[in-house]
Amino acid sequence: MKNIIIRGTLGGILLFIALFTIDFHKILENIKGCEFVLLMAAAAVSFGGLFWLLWLRKHLLNIISEVSFAIILKSNFTANYINNIIPANVGGLLAEPWGFYSFSRGAIPLSKGLALVILSTIMQNVRRIVLSVGALMLFYRLLPKEYIGVIGLALLVYIAYTVIFVLLVFHDRIPVFSLKPFALIFDKLFKGFIQKRISPEMKSFPDKIRESFRLFLKNKKTYLLLVLLIISDVLLEGFRLWLVLFAFGVSFNFWLILIVPSLIYSVTVLPVSLGGLGVAELSGIIVLQAIGISPEIAFPAVFLDRFLFSYWGLLLGGIFVPFIKLPRKEAFL
């Protein structure tokens, strides 16, 4: 609870800083003057895109465990809610498999849910890293050096926990001359933690995750679905922000804006605020102002974009959270 209060306070401070540096009256004028129809179009893209992405995830999980769309939907809202309470990404990593297990009444073990989330997280991290680096190279001279340093730190975090996932899953396939010694140490520590802190009987849990993960990799359908997920995510993310900016009268190169959201939102991986609140808005002001968009438009545009993508899930997710249950020991076996 103390950490939640601290991050909530920091997020509020950053949000205040973002608002303090711009003309609030101009923000209100821009909001009143924006095209409502285009905002509705952005909302339709966001909500329709969510169902499309969840449909793809359903078929991806179906490769190793049958699941209904309702379970996928409830688990997503649950993860979205928890993402807004604890550091972004961590919530999704832990809460979504928990949701699969709870809403399927134990039919989907935590190992299978975690395997799906780890697989998609690795791909999304790679996508975020590649697009953010591309955007940095393109806008390097326009961005403040301090901001570039923050983005660099965020990318290191992405790289670090992507490497951890790779070590967890592929420790026995990594060549000796590379990272295998580190992978073996990590695996030993991970199993030791489970044995000491949870239960000695659950020491096979990491192996169960690997087994599920490799079932994904053996199926050719996995690669097609992953490619569709990544391409869809990039297009929907860019199109949504493009429509929101267009609603405020800003015409922007659509193909160029495909890389902008990754740069803006990469900072949310840093455990500074609740769900990236304040951090994302301040980051959006810096990036969009650097490419010629006024802060009075950048702030409401990024806030609305984040609302359509994430913040609204806080309300719906709160409905489902009371129905998730603590996993029994059998869920790890």
Q: What is the pLDDT of residues 268-288, one digit of tens each?
A: 887 776 666 678 888 888 899
| Count of C-beta atoms within a 10 Å radius of residue 1 | 5
Q: Is the pLDDT of residue 96 over 50?
A: yes
**Mean pLDDT on 94-102:** 86
Report which of 227, 282, 292, 281 is spatially closest to residue 257, judged by C-alpha positions: 292
Binned at pLDDT 50, 70 and 90, residue 187 comes out as low
User: Which tokens in the block code for residue 75?
Assistant: 């688990």
Q: What is the predicted pLDDT for the residue at 86?
A: 64
Whole-angstrom Cα distance, residue 189 to residue 231?
36
Who contacts 241 (Cβ-Cβ below 8 Å, separation ≥6)? 257, 260, 261, 301, 302, 305
Least confident of 21-25, 261-265, 327-331: 327-331
Q: What is the predicted pLDDT for the residue at 283?
A: 87
Q: Is the pLDDT of residue 99 over 60?
A: yes
**Mean pLDDT on 176-188:** 52
Binned at pLDDT 50, 70 and 90, residue 3 comes out as very low
Q: What is the predicted pLDDT for the residue at 192?
A: 56
Binned at pLDDT 50, 70 and 90, residue 29 comes out as confident
DSSP designation for 248: T
Q: Give Rg (Cα) of the chain.
A: 21
Please say whether the beta carbons of 71 and 100 come within 8 A: yes
Indicate the average pLDDT of the chain.
80
Q: Is the pLDDT of residue 301 over 80?
A: yes
Q: Is the pLDDT of residue 242 over 90?
A: yes
Please say whether the beta carbons of 102 and 325 come within 8 A: yes
In this prediction the pTM is: 0.82
Report which of 205, 209, 184, 182 is spatially closest to residue 194, judged by C-alpha positions: 205
